[in-house]
Amino acid sequence: MPELPEVETVVRGLRPRLEGHRLARVDQHRPDLRFPLPPNFAERLTGRRIERIFRRAKYILARLDDGQVLLCHLGMSGRMTIHEPEGGGPLAPLDRHDHVVFTNDQGTEIRFNDARRFGIMDLFAGEALDDHPLLRALGPEPLGNAFNGPALAAALKGRRSLIKAALLDQRVVAGLGNIYVCEALFLAGLSPRRQAYTVQGARAERLAAAVRAVLQRAIEAGGSSLRDYVQADGELGYFQHQWAVYGREGEACPGCDCEPSRSGGIARIVQSGRSTFFCSRRQR
């Protein structure tokens, strides 16, 4: 599933193609994704100018000139692909999983492709943004000013769940997923088996800083590894990244002088049905 840095990279790739442009045409090829699309979805979008594209947690949001807001979640397999007209030639044929196609006033198509149809799209009045059912319970943005050590400590106080589960709770901090929680806990030197309520004071400061650092690093990697945030095949937001611990079971973790053949290296355990990777020597 795309996580916050991937979604942020998608947003940055969409801005030059959609922000400030009118939607000359919107084609809806099925009535639903994970949920039914709103009534008259394509008609309500056609002709509208997109004033701003931004991100909240893992949601892509576009504010329109008539006050409406378009919300999109990529789900498990959703992706945005960009198809730009070159020399007046025809665009590539539609894929059977291109369920919604947005065409801007320059003829560029942004296609939402979702083979598993776990994605979400909604269209609602902008004044209801903060009260939207998918947004109203979200915690602070991990890259925003409201997220810091004291705020994290307050959110974790009294929580008897494990720290990894707490960080995946979108009410504690918005947008974190499995990969970046593993990476942040490693950077902060905290065990994923630690109970959340014990992360106070200096531990909370280290963890908040680590969360911010791993997300910023991943966003920077996405920007530097993709030309204008678009790959050669037109897909937005996916990039290769070298993780410190995630997916590296049995390997030596960065900066560790232990011998994997004796220590076992990076460990993998399953927590709440998800793989957790960590260094039992460095993370306490």
Which residues have a catalytic role annotated?
A: 2-3, 58, 274
Q: Give the separation between CA 186 and CA 191, rounded to whole angstroms.
A: 8
Of 129, 142, 157, the closest CA to residue 68 belongs to 129
Give the Cβ contact number of residue 95 at 10 Å. 11
CB 102 within 8 A of CB 18: yes
Q: Quick one: how far is CA 246 from the chain centroid?
A: 17
Of 1, 7, 169, 128, the closest CA to residue 72 belongs to 7
**H helices of 116-266, where?**
149-156, 163-168, 178-188, 201-225, 260-263
Give the Cβ contact number of residue 88 at 10 Å. 6
Q: Give the separation between CA 71 and CA 138, rounded to whole angstroms.
A: 15
